Structure 1
Amino acid sequence: MSLTVPNDLLDQARAGEVDDAAFIACVRESLPYAWSVISELVQHRDRTGAEFADNQVPPPSEEARGQLLRCLASDAMRGALERHFSVRLAFQNCHRVAVFAPSAADAWREFVTPRAQILNQKPELVDC
């Protein structure tokens, strides 16, 4: 299961739309490793003013890796995080998350190319 959904949020979803704040809180509580990686990247990018910041450190466990995969594979979660942090996210391999400034369209486009994915491959990442 991707998220641990509190009963009040489940009731809210059954009754209609779920607001982003409630959904973000659910993601933050359910996927703490993924949340910490993304929020730290956002803070780093904000501090440096760079077009993007990325994580190149493999997760400390399979559980942590699973959190990243589940979080970034979900269009709903990715979209909510992008709106919450006012960034654009990209993902390569099992752990290379990148956070882009909204104005960094060229850097984002380069990061998500097949060329960039191929150049990011390393033998130790085959089973990640």
Structure 2
Amino acid sequence: MSLTVPSALLDQAQRGSISEEDFLACIQQSLPYAWSVVAGTAEKLQANGAAVEINEDVPQTDAEWGQLFRLMASDSMRAAVERKYGVRLAFQNCCKVGAFAQDATEQYKEFVSMRAQILNQKPELLNC
């Protein structure tokens, strides 16, 4: 299961729409490792005013890997985080998270390119 959903939030969703703030809180509480990586990367981007911030920290446990996969693979979760921080997120291999300023189009295209994927292969990440 991707998220641990509080019963009040589930009830609200069954009745209609939920707020983005409640959704983000659910993500943060359910996937604390992934949240720390993605939010931390976005916050560093904002703080340093750069066009790109890359996090290459390798998760230490299977649970951490799983959290990062779930957050980055979910269009709705990833999009909510992108809206919160005003960034564009990208994921390479199984742990390299990129946060891009909205106008960093060329840097984003390079990060998600086939060439970048090939150049980013590392033997130690073969079975991640």
Alignment TM-score > 0.5, same fold: yes
Q: Percent identity?
A: 52
Unaligned stretches of 5+ in structure 1? Answer: none
State the 1:47 CA deviation.
Answer: 2.1
The structure 1 segments of at least 4 consecutive aligned residues displaced by more than 6 Å after TM superposition are none
State the 1:38 CA deviation.
Answer: 1.1
- The question of 1:11 aligning with 2:24 is answered no
Deviates more, 1:36-45 or 1:64-73: 36-45
1:65-116: per-residue Cα shift (whole Å, max 9, x none)? 1000000000110111111111100001111011111111111111111111
**Equivalents in 2 of 1:48, 1:23: separation in Å?**
27
Aligned residues: 128
Letter aligned with residue 5 of structure 2:
V
- The question of 1:122 aligning with 2:122 is answered yes
- The question of 1:30 aligning with 2:30 is answered yes
**Equivalents in 2 of 1:80, 1:60: separation in Å?**
26
Q: Which residue of 2 aligns with 1:83?
A: 83
In structure 1, the residue corresponding to 2:58 is in which secondary structure? coil
In structure 2, the residue corresponding to 1:40 is in which secondary structure? helix
In structure 2, the residue corresponding to 1:54 is in which secondary structure? strand
| Superposition pairs of residues 108-119 of structure 1, within 5 angstroms | 108-119=108-119
**Equivalents in 2 of 1:77, 1:38: separation in Å?**
11
RMSD of equivalent CA atoms? 0.8
TM-score, normalised with respect to structure 2:
0.96
In structure 2, the residue corresponding to 1:90 is in which secondary structure? strand
Decide whether the 8 Å contact of 2:59 with 2:95 is kept in 1: yes
**Equivalents in 2 of 1:48, 1:60: separation in Å?**
27
Q: Which residue of 2 aligns with 1:40?
A: 40
Letter aligned with residue 119 of structure 1:
L
